Amino acid sequence: MEPVPLAAPRPVVQESLCRVRRTKHSQPFDQEPGFAESDSPEGAGDDRETTSRTKEAILTWTRKKRSGSQILNTETIWRRRCLEEFGMKEDLRKMEAGGVSSQDLYVKLLHPYRHILGLWQPDIGPYGGLLNVVVDGLFIIGWMYLPPHDPRVEDPMRRRPLFRIHLLESKKATVECMYGHKGPHKGDIQTVKKDEFSTKCNQTDHHRMPGGRQEEFRTWLEEEWGRTLEEIFHEHMQELILMKFIYTSQYDNCLTYRRIYLPPMMPSDLLQPGLFKGTYGSHGLEIVMLSFHGTSARATKLTGDPNVPAGQLTLDVDLSQPIDLPELDQQRNIDVLSRIILGIHEKVQRGVEQPAGDTSASVGRAAKESGGAIAESMEVDHGACADASQSGSSSSSSPPETQPFVLPLGVMARNEVYPRTWRKCFYGTGLIAGHGFTSPERTPGLFVLFDEDRFGFIWLELKSFSLYSRLTDHLPHAHAPNMERFEAMLRNMQSWTS
């Protein structure tokens, strides 16, 4: 194999990395994680109540301990709390047999670290990511979720532990970095403000491999792409892959995470909102979050690339603009599809310029811009949405109508095998941009709903097709408390990389 040119990243990359690192180092890591009341997620229902009850329980415990009364009696209470609040099961008995009490587990591990449970996005330039922090056995584990290897978009997600926290000899919660291939080693976690935490590795030499950067790169490539660089013939793709390795490996698991929520489900939704894997050409597979906002369906990137970074709105589908596809032989003709989509695109653009106009497109836009005016937009959009919610429901007695689907000739698809029936189609726009997110532009395209778990998008200008497939992983502690919080999160996420 030719030596891999592991050159220094471009100045712009390095500069932004330094900025991130300076911020991180300005935070003290030798403190206990912040447990302040203000840290608790506002929307976590009765969290505040739970917190005060817990404080009371801890006080009682401390008092009892001081007076020397029987701790055994209170053990059942702590066990119940571990079971009910953190969903622990048989592991508790195993732990108690090993000499660690439920009380220690609750007071020293679960309660102090409860604020880091759930879904998070790492601040790692344009690339983003998806971290799921869960109680797993006697550990709290941070799992990084990775898409399957390109282009097998329907394969299950892969996951890799980045850190774990556990009780060491029932004394103190211990944080360990799990990055690299030499097993767990010393790490730190710090929560500085609400809905944000940072991880740090204290032994980064554990990430290094005997074969140096070459070996580290090959191992990363095998994990990330399931292929060697020689097997990736496309030169531009090789460049993108090298760039991602150089950029991301410099963090050495020293990352800041921001909380993300799964979208709340509304009865009017076209299909169940949630997370999907999608094909993004040379960039490989990326993770997007599909959510519904009045007459608009939006796909936001949780992972991104140097062109369109994580946090950006990759697809914006106008549900007030349904499209009826022609017969199969006509579908094969890209000119037919172009005429239909560009016709709507121009109409919608005119509607945006003249918001006073009474076309359905402009009404749809107005409803969208009002943000969260679901009741209003439902009235406007009874055609598309109300109908969709019926056919989208799995409990519906009559199966939804499907019709044959084929990609137009000349449209590039990552997967030769794609769904051959469609259920609903809508006009939408997809975000394209130059390297470094330069000159971003929303370009017209076709959103195709295949079934409850798959949809596609034809990028008209790029003459390419993206196929999206639902993530089926169980992700607890992740739903947004309400639509307002969810939309605020989307806005924040977009601003991180704008």
Q: How far apart are CA 421 and CA 55, in angstroms?
A: 56
Which residue, 179 or 422, is less far from Zn ion as judged by CB? 179
Q: Which of residues 235-254 bind Zn ion (CB under 5 A)?
A: 253
Q: How far apart are CA 166 and CA 135, in angstroms?
A: 10
Applying CB under 5 A, the site for Zn ion has a residue count of 4
Which residue, 110 or 178, is less far from Zn ion as judged by CB? 178
Which residue, 39 or 123, is less far from Zn ion as judged by CB? 123
Q: How far apart are CA 57 and CA 64, in angstroms?
A: 10
Q: Kindly state the DSSP code that residue 4 receives in the 8-state scheme.
A: P
Distances (CA, A) of 445 to 298, 414, 415: 14, 17, 18
DSSP characters for 156-189? PPEEEEEEEEEEETTTEEEEEE--SSS--EEEEE
How far is the first Cα of the chain from the last one, in angstroms, to the nearest whole number? 39
Tell me if 493 sits within 8 A of 259, measured CB to CB. Answer: no
Q: Which of residues 409-448 bind Zn ion (CB under 5 A)?
A: none
Among residues 445, 423, 419, 443, which one has the least CA distance to residue 431? Answer: 443
Least separation in angstroms between CB 255 and Zn ion: 11
Per-position x/- string for 300-339, each x denoting binding to Zn ion as judged by CB under 5 A, each - no binding: ----------------------------------------
Q: Which of residues 22-51 bind Zn ion (CB under 5 A)?
A: none
Q: How far apart are CA 217 and CA 282, in angstroms?
A: 19
Which residue, 201 or 260, is less far from Zn ion as judged by CB? 201
Which residue, 86 or 179, is less far from Zn ion as judged by CB? 179
Which residue, 162 or 302, is less far from Zn ion as judged by CB? 162
Q: Which of residues 155-184 bind Zn ion (CB under 5 A)?
A: 177, 179
Least separation in angstroms between CB 29 and Zn ion: 13
Least separation in angstroms between CB 252 and Zn ion: 7
| CB atoms inside a 10 Å sphere around CB 129 | 21
Cα angle, residue 466 at apex, residues 157 and 468 outer, rounded to 5°: 35
Q: What are phi and psi of 170, to 5 degrees?
A: 55, 15
Which residue, 201 or 243, is less far from Zn ion as judged by CB? 201
For residues 429, 348, 362, 449, the Cα torsion angle rounded to the nearest 10 degrees is -40
Least separation in angstroms between CB 41 and Zn ion: 28
Least separation in angstroms between CB 201 and Zn ion: 3
Q: How far apart are CA 303 and CA 123, in angstroms?
A: 11
Least separation in angstroms between CB 330 and Zn ion: 57
Which residue, 201 or 271, is less far from Zn ion as judged by CB? 201
Tokens of 492: 């924040």
Tell me if 53 sits within 8 A of 61, measured CB to CB. Answer: no
Tell me if 64 sits within 8 A of 57, measured CB to CB. Answer: no
Least separation in angstroms between CB 8 and Zn ion: 22
Among residues 108, 107, 112, 105, which one has the least CA distance to residue 88? Answer: 105
Which residue, 201 or 246, is less far from Zn ion as judged by CB? 201
Least separation in angstroms between CB 204 and Zn ion: 6
Least separation in angstroms between CB 160 and Zn ion: 13
Which residue, 118 or 184, is less far from Zn ion as judged by CB? 184
Among 133, 153, 162, 201, binds Zn ion (CB under 5 A): 201
Least separation in angstroms between CB 186 and Zn ion: 8
Q: Which of the ranges 40-48, 194-202, 326-334, 381-389 carries the binding residues for Zn ion, by CB under 5 A?
A: 194-202
- Residues sharing a CB contact under 8 Å with residue 102, sequence separation 6 or more, in sequence order: 75, 78, 79, 81, 82, 92, 95, 96
Based on the shown chain and the rule CB under 5 A, indicate whether residue 285 belongs to the binding site for Zn ion.
Answer: no
Preceding peptide of 126 cis, ω within 30° = no
Residues that bind Zn ion (CB under 5 A): 177, 179, 201, 253
